[in-house]
Amino acid sequence: MIIIYHLKNKVVEVEFEGEAIPFSEKGIAFNIFEIATKYPDQLIMWCRFDLKVNLNREKLNGIFHHNKIMATYDLSLNSFLPDAIGYVEESLFLNVKKNVSYPTWMMASDVGGVNSSILKALKDEINVDLDFDYFLHSMAKLTMMNGLFCYSEPLLLQNVSEKSVFNKESNFLLFRFVKQHYKTRWVFLLFLNLFLYENKISILPLLTSLFYKKRKLKENILDKIIVESTRKVVFDKKLSVIIPTIGRKKYLYDFLKDLSQQTSLPQKVIIVEQNPNLNSVTELDYVVNENWPFDIKHIFTHQAGACNARNLALAEVESEWVFMADDDIRIERDFLEKAFNQIEKNGCEQITFGCYQVDYPESKKEKQKIQWDSFGSGCSIVKTKNVRTISYNNGFEFGYGEDSDFGAQLRNLGFDIIHSPNPEIIHLKAPIGGFRSKPVLGWAHDSIQPKPSPTVMLYKILNLKKEQVYGYKTILFFKFYKYQKIKNPIKYLMNFHKQWQASVYWAGKLNQ
């Protein structure tokens, strides 16, 4: 391990195995690239000189448990980039919970580290900025979608007293970052949002940003770096499968057959069958009439809804792992075996697998494992202990957003979610069950129909920063205009505002 100590954006000392080694005067970013070239297969750390005694060396092996991890921690009370970045990016990676390990591309110069193999791969591909914080943000933003796992990690430091330092916010840096890492139109949307919601006219930052070139990396630039986690996450491979189902007898049977033929069998399958007809009985006769190589827990309920069904199923799980599945998916015989290989290889406790329709274009499929800001309730394997204290929010029932909200709850507890393209799951997209009745939503007969859907609004209010919600509002305003009947811009604006307020109102009701 090599540690670069810095002060006021300059390197002051470099330590390798307790001994001082020479360094350049050219800046921190330049030094980490040069050192990575000279010392391959080393963990390269950086740390503020005044935090030298606080570096938590005992935890480093656990934090950097494979070579594709970058982790930092920011002691400041605000982020390096202003919160206005939320007008541009809607992902959960902005809403960092600083008391837990949290996935984010917002890196920090206070303390952090990355394997030298990552730096060697990027050496001729990424700009060396004199501002180390800007450099780290840029590197993480560019590499997260190329398979680098980036975290805010409080365990990097120990015995640190509360800090009250604020990063100096700069709209010039903000506009420059947006121009270099997003499509050009976003700098104009950022300018508009700052005017609409903060009464700021940022003409000079906007114009200055236009002189900067967009940054990008070659695809698959990190693919040659092998990931073999030293973290042990699998102990007994005991797994339960939970399946909510309604009116899909044949599709469920086919999936149960897939499970019964697995090279690594599940221990238990928990089926929650729903039928809102109060006089109905189960149609799943094969559950008891056929022999299965695993235990089946069959719950029959007249209460329809995937959120309630999944919560009922999760309450029955006793195994170390749980496969959260849909009733209309198909898997290969070795799916669970390969899934556990991926879990062990990456040292991850939550993993969503590529779930595609049969004719899904190969070109649109993910090519590599990445940190994901969503969650797949029908195609994920998670560690059971991590979901014991959370549940699906019934406010999302019969709407959209319950998957993403469940994933957000996991991240807020410090549990990252990885998306793996392999092994694949086939999603048949079966027709809805014949006896399903479309629920009558509370706002169905209102004269002002909410826009967006109240469940979409609920997700955003619960999990995003206010700037992200406002940024979405602006985009929705422009996108929705061509689909609605009011073409007078003033009348449309007034009506849109009423619809937005109706959505906020109903989101509040749903959350109760």
Which tokens is 44 given? 């390269």
Rounded mean pLDDT, 204-223: 94
User: Which residues lie closer than 8 Å to 457 by C-beta, 6 or more apart?
Assistant: 450, 503, 504, 506, 507
pLDDT higher at 363 or 198: 198
Rounded mean pLDDT, 333-345: 97
What is the identity of the amino acid at 259? L
What is the identity of the amino acid at 413? L
What SS3 state is found at 19? strand
Phi then psi for residue 433, to 5 deg, are -60, 145
Q: What does the pLDDT read at residue 164? A: 61
Cα-trace Rg, the chain = 25
Q: What does the pLDDT read at residue 39? A: 93
Which tokens is 377 given? 């309730």
**For the segment 162-201, what is each residue's pLDDT rounded down to a tens digit?**
666 777 889 999 999 999 999 999 999 999 999 999 999 9
Has residue 161 got a pLDDT over 70?
Answer: yes
Has residue 434 got a pLDDT over 60?
Answer: no
User: Which residues lie closer than 8 Å to 200 by C-beta, 6 or more apart?
Assistant: 171, 194
Q: What does the pLDDT read at residue 31? A: 95
- Contact predicate 310/242, CB 8 Å: yes
Mean pLDDT estimate for the chain: 94
CA proximity to 185, closest of 145, 154, 214? 214
How far, in Å, CA of 108 to CA of 137, rounded?
A: 8
Has residue 435 got a pLDDT over 60?
Answer: no
**For the segment 396-413, what is each residue's pLDDT rounded down to a tens digit?**
998 889 999 999 999 999
**For the segment 36-52, what is each residue's pLDDT rounded down to a tens digit?**
999 989 999 999 999 99
Has residue 232 got a pLDDT over 80?
Answer: yes
Query: What is the percentage of the chain residues whose pLDDT exceeds 90?
Result: 88
239-427 has which CATH code? 3.90.550.10
**For the segment 91-117, what is each residue's pLDDT rounded down to a tens digit?**
999 999 999 999 999 999 999 999 999
Q: At what angle do helices 185-198 and 466-481 cross, to 10 degrees?
A: 110
Has residue 436 got a pLDDT over 70?
Answer: no
How far, in Å, CA of 450 to CA of 447, rounded?
A: 9
Query: What is the percentage of the chain residues whose pLDDT exceeds 70?
Result: 98
Q: Which long-range contacts (CB under 8 A, 24 or more apart) does 284-293 make?
A: 284/245, 284/249, 284/252, 286/253, 286/256, 292/256, 292/260, 293/260, 293/265
For the chain, the helix, strand and coil percentages under 3-state DSSP, each to the nearest 5: 40, 20, 45
- Contact predicate 262/337, CB 8 Å: yes
What is the identity of the amino acid at 75? L
How far, in Å, CA of 45 to CA of 111, rounded?
A: 7
Rounded mean pLDDT, 324-341: 97
Alpha-carbon torsion, ordered 56, 58, 60, 66, to 10 deg: -170
- Contact predicate 401/455, CB 8 Å: yes
- Contact predicate 40/115, CB 8 Å: no
Confidence tier at 153 by pLDDT (50, 70, 90)? very high
Element at 231 (helix H, strand E): none
